[in-house]
Chains A and B, each alone.
Chain A
Amino acid sequence: MITKEAAFVSSTSVAAELYVVGGVARAMSISVKNAKAIANRAGVKARGFSPITDFIDEMSIETMKLVNLINKDSIELSRIAINELRIRDAVEKFQKVTETASDAKYISSLDESVNKLKQNQHEEHVKLYSYARKLKNLMDEISKKMSVASVIVCNSRIEAVNAEEYRSNLESIANDIESACATIRDRVNSSEQRLDSAIQQWKGNSQDESD
């Protein structure tokens, strides 16, 4: 569990973490195309293999599309998180001024700026939660796809048994796909943890604001 990382670092790391997933999904797609070529050569011996490869190929392409969406949103989330951090820093500094210069002749002239800043901060929090929710949904979608893919890979192993001399090649490809699924699942889990950690920090900050 990642807990010590600053929220804006966590949100930025999600983009980097999931960039790797895009690469793994691409590799998965290539493995599947190899499997398809072998299955074609094997003909009737690997009859059951072709629909499985079609399915996984489609899924890897969808995963890449999801990763592209996540990349865009996580970069936007990171931009908002950094903006929120800057606004929070400004709010803290302005609050310090209102405490240390409470006797200053013109202290009330700062009120409008402070209120505007707090309003901006609130708006950034709303945006943060909205993007974080959207990202979590996209990540959940990838995780579900990977769970389905793992089941399909098990089926492909059964089909590979009937492929005689092509068996070892198809099993090796099934291993590659399984390993790719595991990598994607791990990366997505780690990204979700990072995002949860960031959300907790933002919640804490919102709490401090309202206190």
Chain B
Amino acid sequence: MKATNIYDQRHQWIVFGRDPEKPDGIIDTNQYLIRVDDRALLLDPGGIEIFSSMLSAVLHHVSVDQITDLFASHQDPDIISSLGLWDQALPNGRLHAPWIWEGFIRHFGLNNIQYEPIPDEGGEIHLGSVKLNMVPAHYLHSSGNFHVYDPAAKILMSGDVGAALEPPGADMFVDDFDEHINKMKMFHQRWMPSNRAKNDWVNRVRDLDIEILAPQHGRLFKGENVGRFLDWFEALEVGTAIA
């Protein structure tokens, strides 16, 4: 699995993805690791099918006992179905996930890791000296959904917002925004159910200072492309499956 360092100052952000060993027919995902001194947080650690590749890649950067926290933006299998395996690997970890999904996510297997329910209004994760904000993103697409904003790194991990469906081996960053629209338009129109929720999110996110918008599928947006994406998303009509 490819590991790309997207922020490397006093703490680090690493994105894992483009797994060549991923079985055919399952959607490609981006997993994120934030490392602060001797602690690490995994954001949307992925599905059961990519667990081995993911853990193999992670162990090049941190040890299992350093991974103290997991975050699940929502309940989908590509986000967190590997939980039962992480639960065996990290006996003292904590999982930050939406409160409404606790009873559902526990079906993936949770005996050792502690479930930390995120209230609807969001909250903070203190990872050593770094404070991360859990930003509400309800109905984008899940009815209980959060993103993670790192004010120091100016990175917003945006879950399915900004996601694109691409062929294997795509680059990590968007280079031509206009060309990229075709790869993400249908995804947003079909998976995002609410224009009201979308516009509320766009308004709140515009107040954040974002250098990198990091979705869970496809390429990341950097610099001016972040603003371009917000403008495009705001103008997009979503929830289009209703005839």
Interface set of A (CB-CB < 8 Å, partner B): 86-87, 90, 93-94, 96-97, 100-101, 104-107, 109-110, 113, 116-117
Contact = CB atoms under 8 A, between A and B. Distances in A.
Contacts of B66: 106, 109
Contacts of B61: 105-106
Contacts of A109: 59, 63-66
Contacts of A86: 84, 109
Contacts of A93: 51-52, 55, 85
Q: A-B pairs with the 6 shortest C-beta distances?
A: A109-B63, A101-B56, A106-B63, A104-B59, A96-B52, A104-B60
Contacts of A113: 64, 88-91
27 contacts: A86-B84, A86-B109, A87-B88, A90-B84, A90-B88, A93-B51, A97-B52, A97-B55, A97-B59, A100-B52, A101-B59, A105-B61, A106-B59, A106-B60, A106-B61, A106-B62, A106-B63, A106-B66, A109-B66, A110-B55, A110-B59, A113-B64, A113-B88, A113-B89, A113-B90, A113-B91, A116-B88
Contacts of B55: 93-94, 97, 101, 110
B109 A107 contact: no
Interface string B41-84: 00000000001110111011111111000000000000000001
Best-buried of B56, B85, B90 by chain A (most CB within 10 Å) = B56
Contacts of B85: 90, 93
Grouping DSSP codes into helix (H, G, I), strand (E, B) and loop, the B interface class, with mixed when no group exceeds half, is helix
Contacts of A96: 52, 56
Interface of B: 51-53, 55-57, 59-66, 84-85, 88-91, 109
A117 B88 CA distance: 7
Best-buried of B60, B84, B90 by chain A (most CB within 10 Å) = B60
A124 B62 CA distance: 31
Contacts of B109: 86
Contacts of A100: 52-53, 56
A116 to B, nearest CB: 8
Contacts of B90: 113
B65 A97 contact: no
Given A86-B109, A109-B63, A110-B64, A104 B56 contact: yes
A88 to B, nearest CB: 12
Given A97-B55, A101-B57, A116-B88, 16 more contacts: A86-B109, A93-B51, A93-B55, A94-B55, A94-B89, A96-B52, A101-B55, A105-B59, A106-B64, A109-B59, A109-B63, A109-B64, A109-B66, A110-B64, A113-B90, A113-B91
A113 B86 CA distance: 10
A152 to B, nearest CB: 50
Contacts of B88: 87, 90, 94, 113, 116-117
A109 B89 CA distance: 10
Contact of B60 (A90, A94, A101, A116): A101
Nearest to A120: B88
Nearest to A90: B88
A173 to B, nearest CB: 50
A18 B225 CA distance: 64
Nearest to B89: A113
Contacts of B84: 86, 90
A187 B150 CA distance: 62
Nearest to A93: B52
B64 A105 contact: no
Contacts of B52: 93, 96-97, 100
Contacts of B62: 106
Best-buried of A94, A97, A101, A116 by chain B (most CB within 10 Å) = A97
A210 to B, nearest CB: 21
A93 B109 CA distance: 16
Nearest to A113: B89
Contacts of B53: 100
